[in-house]
Amino acid sequence: MKKTIAPQKRDKSLVPLSREHHFGLLFAWKLRQGLKNGTNLEVMRSYVRYFWNNILKEHCQEEEWLLERLLPSDDTQRARLQEEHKLIEALVELIEDGCPMNKDLFKVLDQDLVDHIRWEERELFPYLQAVAHSDDLELAGELLAHKHDPRVDAFTPEFWIAKPKSE
């Protein structure tokens, strides 16, 4: 029997970050689809660069900013978040600099990002909600919302859409 994971009750201050996690999971899915469709790796490299510069980099910075305000500097969860963000950024840089291009780098980025997002949603955010003072969480959420612009993924070409086979 497959184990189902109940949806987490998310503090409203963390909702914008949780919503963006959907974008991150969709980004990973698009990479998988691109590889499956045999997309030119240069197009996929451009997409990784685009997504990092327009969505993911700032998202990571906002999460780190939030944890700096809510957790002590020696907190292991905070350290894990920062370390995983560094690893994701290093993978993005390897893809950007990659010569020759390597499909496996895209696969590793996909898997590491999905694993990281799942950890944040299932462990980090519930932990934050349990240990951070509710007033601090609310204030940090208000500050985050004030400086947070909705992100849009408008990359073209849409390489993740399978092209119909010619007959």
> Residue 23, SS3?
helix
State CA 105 to chain mean position distance.
Answer: 16
Residues present in the chain in total? 167
Q: Which residue from 96, 3, 114, 93 is spatially nearest to 44, judged by alpha carbons?
A: 96
Q: Cα separation of 152 and 129, whole Å?
A: 27
Q: How many domains does the chain have?
A: 1
* Domain-located, residue 109: yes
| Domain interval for residue 72 | 12-147
154 domain-assigned: no
Question: Cα–Cα distances in Å, from 100 out to 42, 133, 165?
Answer: 10, 49, 29
Determine if the pTM surpasses 0.85.
yes
In a domain, 77, yes or no: yes
> Would you say residue 140 lies in a domain?
yes
Which CATH number is 60's domain given?
1.20.120
Q: Does residue 97 form part of some domain?
A: yes
pLDDT tens digits for the chain (167 residues)?
Answer: 555 655 557 788 888 888 889 999 999 999 999 999 999 999 999 999 999 999 999 999 999 999 998 999 999 999 999 999 999 999 999 999 977 788 999 999 999 999 999 999 999 999 999 999 888 888 888 887 776 667 788 999 999 997 766 54
